[in-house]
Amino acid sequence: MAMDRFNVGPIVVLGAGINGAAIARELALQGADVLLIDAEDLAGGTTSYSSRLIHGGLRYLEYAEISLVRESLAERDRLLHLAPEMVHPLELLIPVGNRLSGLISGAQRFFLKSGAAPKDGRGSLVVRLGLTLYDRFASGAVPSHRRLTAAQFAESKLNTKKFFTAFSYFDGQLTFPEQFVLALVQDAQAAVKEQGGAFSLRTYQHVRREGETLFFSSIHPNQESSGNEIAVTPAAVINAAGPWVDAALAGLNVPSAKLIGGTKGSHLISRCPDLRKALGPRGVYAEASDGRPIFILPWNDACLIGTTDIRYDGDPAEAVASDEEIEYLIDATNAIFPEVGFTREDVQQHYCGVRPLPAVGEGTTSSITRSHVVHRHEGEPFPLYSIIGGKLTTCRSLAEDTVKVVLPDLRQKVEYNSRDRPLPAPFFGDTPVDAALLPDVNIPVAHVAYVIEHFAAKTLADLVERRLMLVFDPNLSRQCLYTLGEQLATAGWLERSQIDDEVDHYVVRLQKRYGKRVS
């Protein structure tokens, strides 16, 4: 039995975002007993507000983070192969306006890790050099970069007064990272059946510690806590709470210097037909007026525009896109596609998340490393680790690195890894013939019941934002929300008398957090 192997209780993973779920899956492959815990919902933090790109980190080359780029490219190509239902190749254009700009400032960033972005943008020599290295470090899973011909550039609809040519290269896109997390959880459940051990997921949990024991109790927002606690003596605790890493340590009464210095990134979603037509099937990776890279991507039958990078010290749950950030991204879009005449009215909604970057001193946010660290906390009654940094693309390799640290500390061998393990899209249950559909959206009601039962969906936000992805559906309506509320009531997560008020409150949340209006 796995319990005998680890002698005490399960390995507890705090945080059920992309990194926590990947770590839980990697541990499950070893036959470990795993308890995945979150104070909120699966993928309820940074994962849901990411840029939805699986990429090698082209701009990291400027700061000489060669190992991170190699790792990211290897993971990009691996995910394209192992998770093709969720991750697909995406062609990106890099427009350039001159030939020589950025050579000196680029050398400063590469060798000294400092220096401002070039005022005139990165020139074609710098871009070509970066893309050449990018191709060399990759495995060949996607086409190599190329420079557009004059005719191709003219057809691209890019600003010909600002740019004189453009380069094409490929990365990957993950349409819904939220469902990627579901797939990781589902595969962790499958792994324990193969390897032994156990896997348990508990969301909306309050965690406290007394000595070497952790106590978990429900904090579900729609129900009063029963006061019942589950006591666990963990074999180890892995703090993968993302931007809440420091808060999680404080909740465990663990003294620690500040580990996370988050930055917030905002994104816009637009269904502007002129912008969608100008963009075509390819994304654009360009620079805003301050030299920060931004992108405009075809995504989910819309355009996804991002992102900002602003230091943020508040509660990550309260981070929203500011008016200044929205205008910044609108201006950057118009500089790339001036003929579109993009305005605030063309923005259907927005979202904002906080990156769990390492705490550092002064300096540009773009220079903060995106690599990850598994930090050991000494002197605690059980082995305790905090995950600092990380990114969507490298969640699997981060998980593998974490397991290589944790299991030897527990005197266990690492016998397996997920490098060649396929990750199919999550299964939402069979669709009955003539299945009833949710009002105004083409999703079977049976799928709602399935994710409530099997994927721990307990609130409207869980269903709309992180299971069914209706938050991005322009047809989402109050009637649809009411039907979802009925399903939650049937499952016992909501009183039927609460449905109207819950829908009203949720409509306000959608407006505040996403700028989304529901009819």
CA pair distance 16, 38, nearest whole angstrom: 5
pLDDT confidence of residue 121: 77
CA pair distance 178, 53, nearest whole angstrom: 13
CA pair distance 96, 107, nearest whole angstrom: 18
Instruction: Quote the distance between the C-alpha of residue 337 and its chain's center.
Output: 27
pLDDT confidence of residue 483: 98
Whether the per-residue pLDDT at 299 is higher than 70: the answer is yes
Rounded (to 5) percent helix, strand, coil in the chain: 40, 20, 40
Q: Which of 96, 316, 74 is nearest to 172 (CA)?
A: 74
pLDDT confidence of residue 220: 75
Whether the per-residue pLDDT at 2 is higher than 50: the answer is no
Cis peptide before 307 (omega within 30 of 0): yes
pLDDT band for 35, please (50, 70, 90 cuts): very high
What's phi and psi for 96, nearest 5 deg? -130, 150
CA pair distance 382, 371, nearest whole angstrom: 26
Mean pLDDT in the chain?
A: 92
Greater confidence (356 vs 5) lies with 356
pLDDT confidence of residue 361: 65
Number of Cβ atoms within 10 Å of the Cβ of 140: 8
pLDDT digits (tens, 9 = 90+) for 106-124: 666 565 566 566 666 788 9
Q: 227 is written with which tokens?
A: 């006061």
Span 395-421, average pLDDT: 97
CA pair distance 487, 483, nearest whole angstrom: 6
Whether the per-residue pLDDT at 27 is higher than 80: the answer is yes
Q: 312 is written with which tokens?
A: 């943020």
Helix (H) or strand (E) holding 299: strand 293-299
For 194-250, the DSSP string reads: HH-SEEEEE-SEEEEEETTEEEEEE--TTS------EEE--SEEEE--GGGHHHHHH
pLDDT band for 262, please (50, 70, 90 cuts): confident
Q: Which of 317, 41, 47, 315 is nearest to 204 (CA)?
A: 41
pLDDT confidence of residue 113: 60
Is residue 306 within 8 A of residue 321, CB to CB? The reply is no
pLDDT digits (tens, 9 = 90+) for 62-79: 888 999 999 999 999 999
pLDDT digits (tens, 9 = 90+) for 47-62: 999 999 999 999 888 8
pLDDT digits (tens, 9 = 90+) for 192-230: 999 999 999 999 999 999 999 999 999 877 665 556 789
Is residue 213 within 8 A of residue 10, CB to CB? The reply is no
Span 454-482, average pLDDT: 97
Which distant-in-sequence residues (6+ apart) come within 8 Å of 276 by Cβ? 270, 298, 302, 303
Span 26-53, average pLDDT: 96
pLDDT confidence of residue 469: 98
pLDDT digits (tens, 9 = 90+) for 304-317: 999 999 999 999 99
pLDDT confidence of residue 102: 62
Whether the per-residue pLDDT at 296 is higher than 50: the answer is yes
Q: In angstroms, what CA-CA distances link 9 with 13, 35, 199, 213, 232? A: 12, 9, 12, 10, 6
Q: 107 is written with which tokens?
A: 């050398």
pTM of this prediction exceeds 0.75: yes
pLDDT digits (tens, 9 = 90+) for 74-94: 999 999 999 999 999 999 999
Whether the per-residue pLDDT at 4 is higher than 50: the answer is no
CA pair distance 165, 124, nearest whole angstrom: 8
